[in-house]
Amino acid sequence: MAVDPASAASLTRDTEVIAEFVDVHRHYRMGDNIVRALNGVSMQVRRGDYLAIMGRSGSGKSTMLNLLGCLDRPTSGEYRVGGRDISRLDDDALSDVRGREIGFIFQSFNLIPQLTVLENLEVPLFYQGGVGPESRKKAEYLADRVGLGQRLEHKPLELSGGQQQRVAIARALMNDPLFLLADEATGNLDSNTEQEILALFDDLQKDGVTIVIVTHNPAVALRAERTLWLKDGQVERLDDNRSEAGRAAAEAAARSHGGAQ
């Protein structure tokens, strides 16, 4: 029997896990006390996902961000990226995973002010030893993709905040990462520019880019397909924002939290 292409794509997406926490704990010792920042978290990111992570201050969001970005290791449990458990890799191996598998987008853009847009885009490939004519073509393509094709020779201080964040998004895509990891990506933007960046995320996700965004803003989280709520280092709930019932639950959760801090 022939399989409908849309159904086949949906099946592939539903089964292809590209990042996964398996009973992850992250504990810190502070004097005589042990802080259980994450306490048995299991979750999955599938190819093509658009996942928001929310929770109040102290819920474990920052710890989860650091673990997802390979900036830290679990105390116990497994973190799998591309099907491989990377929980016990050494620093050099973790750095390689960060550079090749994850595209970072920061609240403060983190562009190099002395470099042009084009040069900033090539930075990730510079560290991989891949700068050349092909990287230049790719940078030009991605700059055009985010609406900055005419700004290649501009430096960051010659751009607006929204334009700088578009550069940061394009830079995060340069290595064809498994997923984008966005940390409060619209936190430094005004409301109109925030909507423009969120619309760009929508477009990228429709094109198959996997996005994980950590945010304190319920309105930003509701743009994602799913919202994972953390509380006291554990998963409190996982809302499906695509369904009417799920969206209502997500909106109610946002109201009850008063917006995560």
- From 91, 90, 69, select the one nearest 21 (Cα to Cα): 69
Determine, yes or no, domain membership for 230. Answer: yes
Determine, yes or no, domain membership for 182. Answer: yes
Confidence of residue 2 (pLDDT cuts 50, 70, 90): very low
Domain range for residue 232?
48-77+91-257
Tell me, what's the pLDDT at 12?
42
Determine, yes or no, domain membership for 99. Answer: yes
Find the radius of gyration of the CA atoms of the chain: 19
Determine, yes or no, domain membership for 19. Answer: no
Tell me, what's the pLDDT at 125?
83
Q: The CATH number of the domain where 165 resides is what?
A: 3.40.50.300
Determine, yes or no, domain membership for 249. Answer: yes
Determine, yes or no, domain membership for 22. Answer: no
Determine, yes or no, domain membership for 113. Answer: yes
Determine, yes or no, domain membership for 120. Answer: yes
Write the pLDDT tens digit of every residue in 100-114. 999 999 999 999 999
User: What is the reported pTM?
Assistant: 0.87
Write the pLDDT tens digit of every residue in 9-62. 444 445 699 999 999 999 998 888 999 999 999 999 999 999 999 998 899 999
- Tell me how many domains the chain contains: 1
Return the beta strands (E) in the chain as ranges. 17-30, 33-46, 50-54, 76-81, 84-85, 102-105, 179-183, 211-214, 226-231, 234-240
Asked if pLDDT for residue 3 goes beyond 70, the answer is no
Name residue 223's amino acid. Answer: R
Q: Which two tokens stand for residue 136?
A: 């230049």
Q: Beta-carbon neighbour count of residue 137 at 10 Å?
A: 10
